[in-house]
Amino acid sequence: MSALTVRELHELPDLEAVDSLFERIWGSGPGGSPMGVEQMRALSHAGNYVAGVYAEGRLVGAAVAFFAAPAGEALHSHVTGALPGHAAGLALKRHQREWALARGLSRITWTYDPLVRRNAHFNLSKLGARPVEYLTSFYGPMDDAINGGDDTDRALCSWELSDPAVRAAAASAPLPVHVPAGAVTALAVRDGLPAVGRLDAPALLVEVPPDIEALRRADPGAAKAWRLAMREVLGGLLSDGADVIGFHDRSSYVVVRATTL
C-alpha cells in the first residue's frame, strides 16, 4: 500500500479534481457530484474543511466538512469519498480529527446509511463514533449508483474527539465490543430478508444485510423491506433513548437500553 499524503485544498484545479472523483465514486454524470466546485470553493475560502488524500501524487479520496452548532464545539462532515484499496478514508478521518482539535472543537458529526455494513464497521469499530439519531429520508430521493433510488434514511454519528475509546481507535486496531449477556436478536437476516424479533429486551442485536447495494440492484423489493425494518427497529430504539455501543462481528449493531448502562 502506497504512503498517503493528506492536505487541505483551496485552489480551483484541486477542487475540480475532487468534483470528478466524487462523480466517479457516486456514479453520477457531469454536474451530479454530491458537492460541487463552487460550494467547495466557498466553504474552503470561509475557513471550513476541504481536504484530499493522495497516493503517489494521485487523488484517491476527499472530504468536505463545515462548522456546526453548537458554535465553537462541532464540525459536520458532509461528504467523504475514497477509492478502495488505499485506506484513504481512515487517513482522512484521522486528519480531520487533528484539524478539528487544533481549532478547539470537541465533536465531529456525519450521516451514513445504517444498512451499509462496511460503513457501520468503519464508523463504530475503527473510529469509535456512535449513532445518536435516526433520520428518515433525510436527503430525499437520490438515484445515483450508491443510493439506487432508495429512501435516504441516515444514522447521525457523533465522534467525541477526546473520548478515550476514540483516541485508542484513532491510533490502533478496531475497537472490541462487549455483547451483554442475554442479548436478543431484534433484527436478523433470514433467507436474505429482514426478520423482526423482540424489541423489549434490555440488550439487543440489530443485524445488517451483507450487501445492501447489490440487493438494491438485484431485488429492489427486498432492499425496501430492509429499509423499512431498519427504520422500525434501529430507528425506534434510538427514538426510545436506547444507545448503540458498538458493531459486533462486522454484522450487527449492539444496542442497550439506558436502564442497562
CB neighbour burial string for 160-194, b if at least 16 within 10 angstroms, e if fewer: ebebeebeebbeeebbebeebeebebbbebeeeeb
Overall pTM > 0.85:
yes
Phi, psi (deg, nearest 5) at residue 119 = -70, -40
What secondary structure letter does DSSP report for 175?
Answer: P
What secondary structure letter does DSSP report for 242?
Answer: -
Nearest-5° Cα angle at 35, 34 to 37: 140
Question: 77: which 3 cell numbers?
Answer: 462532515
What pLDDT, on a 0 to 100 scale, did the predictor assign at position 143? 62
Q: How far is CA 89 from the centre of its chain?
A: 10
Domain 4-171 has CATH 3.40.630.30: yes
Cα gap 171→158, rounded to integer Å: 18
What pLDDT, on a 0 to 100 scale, did the predictor assign at position 114? 98
The residue type of 168 is A
Q: Which one, of 48, 94, 42, 51, lies nearest residue 74 by Cα?
A: 48
**Number of helices and strands (H, E) in the chain?**
8, 12
Cα gap 50→71, rounded to integer Å: 19
**Helix or strand holding residue 184 (H, E):** strand 184-190
Q: Is residue 99 within 8 Å of residue 91, measured between CB atoms?
A: no
**Helix or strand holding residue 54 (H, E):** strand 49-55
What pLDDT, on a 0 to 100 scale, did the predictor assign at position 172? 76
What pLDDT, on a 0 to 100 scale, did the predictor assign at position 236? 97
What pLDDT, on a 0 to 100 scale, did the predictor assign at position 170? 77
Domain locations along the chain: 4-171, 184-260
Mean pLDDT, the chain cut into blocks of 10 residues (261 residues total): 90 98 90 93 98 97 97 97 94 96 98 97 95 95 59 96 88 82 97 96 97 94 97 98 96 88 51
SS3 of 95-126: HHHHHHHHCCCCEEEEEECCCCHHHHHHHHHH
